Each structure stands twice: as C-alpha cells, then as structure tokens.
Amino acid sequence: MFINASTDNIDIAPAWERADLDEVKRLAPYPVALVGDVQARMGIMAAAIRPVTPAPRLAGTVLPVLAREGDNLAIHRALDDARPGDVLVVNANAEINRAVFGDLLGEICLAKGVTGIVIDGAVRDVEELAGQGLAVYARGISPAGPWKNGPGRIGFPVACGNVVCNPGDAIFGDRDGLVVIPRRDLTAVVERTLAQEQTEQKMREAINAVAQLAH
C-alpha cells in the first residue's frame, strides 16, 4: 500500500487470466474505429469518456476497479497487484465533481508498467499527467480531491462507459475513444481487423486511381 489506510472493506477477486499481450501488440497500431467495426460496432465506450492527456493511444488488458464515488482507496489497492500491460479501468459511478485519480497515482502507474487509465468519473492534475506521458481517459475533470475510505471491488466485472469490462479483457484507445474486446475473442478480432484493413486499403487505392484519372 502507498497510503496509510486500511483496505479491509475492499473485495479482491482471485487471480484471473489476462489477454495475450503479443496479440494486444498486434492490434495496437490500428484505429479504434476499425476495431469496433469488425466487432459489429459493439464494445465501444460511451463518447462521454474522453482523453484528457495529449497522447491518448493505449493498448493493454483490463484491471477492473469498482470505486465508491469520490473515493479512490480501491484504486490504490488495485495498483499493488497491477502488472505490466494492465490498463486501469475504473467505475467511479460517473461522479465528476470529485476526482479519484491524479499525478501521484500516475507516478505509481508508471512504476508498475500500467499502460493507460480509464475512469468513469473524474481526474485532476491533468498538466502533470500529460507531462508523465500517460494515456488517461475520464468522464470529467475536477480539482477536488478524493476520500480514501472505501468500499470497493477489484478484479470483478465492471461497467465503464456503458460497456461491461471483464478482468483480463483487451482494451484499446485513441483520439476517437475506447473499445473493449473480450479476452476469448481477441485473436479472431485481430484477424478480422487485418483483413478489413486490407479491404479498406484497396478501396483507398481505387478512389485515388479515379481521382488521378479525373485530373
């Protein structure tokens, strides 16, 4: 623990399997919109969850947290067990008047190898977070700091941005937004994305050829 507080009221799930990081890396360069398209345009988070730092591209596996609104004790505890490649995905009950994440937690994320943060709630210290190079998404921004009382849950499915996020699912983000892929579907989605990219590239080439003829 990085704070002096009891976590007796934080429920922690047994260990879970993460999506294969090599498969995550294969899909990481592709646009979220394209990945969403090949998932029948499902699994895309609500538009209200927006990037708040200037380098929003992220790719990793879901570390889900359920936090009481305005309280970040569960987030602190979750980071104790975070692994490289995890993305912190927090249901903070859409509360935007009190932040549950800031620059000190950002420093911990960097130390733990966390590749991104998604908060269905509010964050603060956005200039400092931007300087850290973290990809941070949130529903809102507020200077008001959090409580650290709990309760909370870690490693259980959470709803974030209207999408159910299971532990170990794959998640990707860019300036358009976020998409979540169930762990069991990741390989199939990678293959469909690669195929769709080839199809769209041929369409672009055909459009360019027509444009050249027109000139």
The Cα 188–Cα 209 span in angstroms is 32
Query: pLDDT truncated to tens, each residue of the chain (215 aa)?
Result: 556 678 899 999 999 999 999 999 999 999 999 999 999 999 999 999 999 999 899 999 999 999 999 999 999 999 999 999 999 999 999 999 999 999 999 999 999 999 999 999 999 999 999 999 999 999 999 999 999 999 999 999 999 999 999 999 999 999 999 999 999 999 999 999 999 999 888 888 888 887 788 76
Length of the chain: 215
Provide φ and ψ at 163, rounded to 5°. Answer: -120, 135
Residue 195, beta-bridge partner list: none
What proportions of the chain, in percent to the nearest 5, are helix, strand and coil? 35, 25, 40
Q: Is the peptide bond before 151 cis (omega within 30 degrees of 0)?
A: yes
One-letter amino acid at 108 equals I
Measured from the Cβ of residue 29, the count of other Cβ atoms closer than 10 Å reads: 12
Q: 94 phi and psi, to 5 degrees?
A: 60, 20
